[in-house]
Amino acid sequence: MRAHPSLIRLVISDLHASTGRRRGVFNPLEDFHSDTKLVELLDYYGSATRRGKRIELVLNGDIFDLLKVPGGPKEDPYTDEITEEVAAEKVRLALDGHPVMTEALTTLLQREGTQITYLPGNHDIEFLLPSAQRAFRERIAPGSLATRVRFIDSTDTYHLPEGIQIRHGHQLESIHQFDYKHLMSARREGQPIIALPWGSLMVLHVLLQAKRERYHVDHIVPQKRLLMASLLVDFRFAIKLLAGLTFHFMRTRAFPKEGNVLRKLWEGFKVIRHELKPVGQFDDSAQAELLKVRGVHTVIMGHSHEPRFWRIAPDKLYVNTGTWVKMININLHHLGQDSGLTYALIDYDDRARPRTSLMRWHGEYEKLSPVPY
């Protein structure tokens, strides 16, 4: 959509919706419990179309946490061999788990002058595949509505001509990087599979089991301090988690199926450094990217789960949309920070010049809500 005073762009990231929840059954792999709040948000902005506004909803990565969605064979449902078929099944299961959210997205698209733009992140990398995109359109945008959904699938950046870049942010960390030009890995037998980055393999082989034992394990930042604190207050779990990470590291780096061992080990040590570095260093990397790009005055990212709105130079703005997952920050600098339900809003003045804001959705007052655990 072209910049125009009537245009509103909403940028949301990191909902991490997986297979939903069933009444009376706690799902430790489901992190998104704000379906109703999201519906309210979409309805609020969608109603502006009656006043002549046009709405572009930018889903900026990790909207669905497909790493936490089964889709493989019965003996290995959370497989790391993700084919086109497995990817499509994961998308269908995730949409089935969030029917209210799914219906709200369709309702938004049914309004005149609306569009959804999807940038896949490292937890929903499957949306780079045509089969996953088709499964999404069939459910969210059936029939003629399909033309109102577009995927940014050849790069990690959505370039707006008015000097704004939107990126999920995973490509700034080596642990989560993937090659857009060589996404699929051929096999001697069977269909090609996604060449998953080490971070995704770590989630599948280590983190999923850890979440079944300690649901909060990926809700606490920074991870380095979580591990240190766990050694004091949850020693058995901490040792088990560290052992799992070490075994996974050695299996994939010291004894790789292919590639030079020394090179794999060196790459692995870089991975560990990225995994344990504080969130602040992600912010530094994001700001460095913005400063070196000419013709761009604003970069909007997600990924780190930490909302930011920083003017880093007179004409340079760094925005992070945060997450809708309830996070606990044990960094003293941000201790107690409310980081939920944030998103970026881009609107335009009478001369079609963009104005970017970081917003928090409060929604309608609720007297009660179901407890998911």
Question: What letter represents residue 152's amino acid?
Answer: I
| 90 in Cβ contact with 151 (< 8 Å) | no
Collapsing DSSP states into helix, strand and coil, what is residue 156?
A: coil
The tokens 């909207």 sit on which residue?
63
What's the rounded mean pLDDT across residues 72-78? 93
C-alpha–C-alpha distance, residues 81 and 64, integer Å:
18
Residue 250 has pLDDT above 60, yes or no: yes
Kind of pairing between the strands at 220-221 and 328-329: parallel
Residue 269's pLDDT is 64
What whole-number distance in Å separates Cα of residue 51 and Cα of residue 8? 12
Percent of the chain scored above 90 by pLDDT?
A: 65
Cα separation, 42 vs 314, whole angstroms: 33
Q: Which has the minimum average pLDDT: 59-73, 149-163, 165-179, 221-235?
A: 221-235
User: Which of 48-52, 105-109, 120-124, 233-237 comes out lowest in average pLDDT?
Assistant: 233-237
Model confidence at 299, pLDDT cuts 50, 70, 90, reads very high
Mean per-residue pLDDT, 110-138: 97
Tokens matching residue 111: 């309004």
Mean pLDDT value across residues 352-373 = 86
**pTM greater than 0.85 (yes/no):** yes
- Give the residue, 306 or 335, on which the prediction is more confident: 306
Helix axes 84-97, 130-140, angle to 10 degrees: 30
**pLDDT of 368:** 80
Q: What is the dihedral of CA 164, 194, 86, 150, to 10 degrees?
A: 20
Backbone CA torsion sign across 137, 138, 139, 144: positive
Average pLDDT value over all residues in the chain: 89
Residue 369 or residue 61, greater confidence: 61
Q: Where are the alpha helices (DSSP H) in 141-260?
A: 198-202, 208-213, 223-233, 235-249
Q: What CATH code would you report for 7-360?
A: 3.60.21
Confidence of residue 25 (pLDDT cuts 50, 70, 90): confident
By the 8 A CB rule, do 354 and 3 touch?
A: yes
Per-residue pLDDT band at 280 (split at 50, 70, 90): low
- Cα separation, 334 vs 329, in Å, equals 6
**What was the pLDDT predicted at 286?**
92
**How do 7-12 and 184-185 pair as beta strands?**
unpaired
β-sheet bridge partners, residue 316 = 313
Indicate the helix (H) or strand (E) that contains 359: strand 354-360
**Run of H or E including 99:** helix 99-110
First to last CA, the chain: 41
Question: How far from 353 is each of 24, 46, 166, 207, 293, CA to CA, in Å?
Answer: 50, 22, 17, 44, 19
| Residue of 234 and 153 predicted with greater confidence | 153
- Of 24-28, 270-274, 341-345, the range with the highest mean pLDDT is 341-345
pLDDT at 328: 78
pLDDT at residue 107 greater than cutoff 50 = yes
Rounded average pLDDT over 138-152 = 97
Q: What is the pLDDT of residue 220?
A: 79
> Distance between CA atoms of 357 and 348, rounded to whole angstroms?
11
> Which of 111, 106, 73, 102 has the alpha carbon at shortest distance from 89?
73
SS3 category, 158 = strand
**pLDDT surpassing 90 at residue 103:** yes
Q: What percent of the chain has pLDDT over 70?
A: 90
Distance CA 206, CA 367 (A): 39
Euclidean distance between CA atoms 258 and 238, whole angstroms = 30
173, 122 in Cβ contact below 8 A?
Answer: no
pLDDT-based confidence at residue 279 (cuts at 50, 70, 90)? very low
Q: In 1-53, where do the E strands start and end?
A: 7-12
Nearest partner of 346 among 311, 306, 325, 317, judged by Cα: 317
Q: Which residue has the higher pLDDT, 238 or 65?
A: 65
Residue with tokens 């990924």: 303
Residue 100 has pLDDT above 50, yes or no: yes
Mean pLDDT lowest for which of 63-67, 232-236, 327-331, 346-350? 327-331
pLDDT at 367 over 80: no
In 3D, which of 78, 71, 128 has the Cα closest to residue 95? Answer: 71
Label residue 264 by pLDDT band (50, 70, 90).
low
Q: Per-residue pLDDT averaged across 64-87, rounded?
A: 95
Higher pLDDT, 365 or 301: 301
Collect all residues with Cβ–Cβ distance below 8 Å to 313 and sequence separation of at least 6. Answer: 291
91: pLDDT strictly greater than 50: yes
pLDDT of 44 above 60: yes
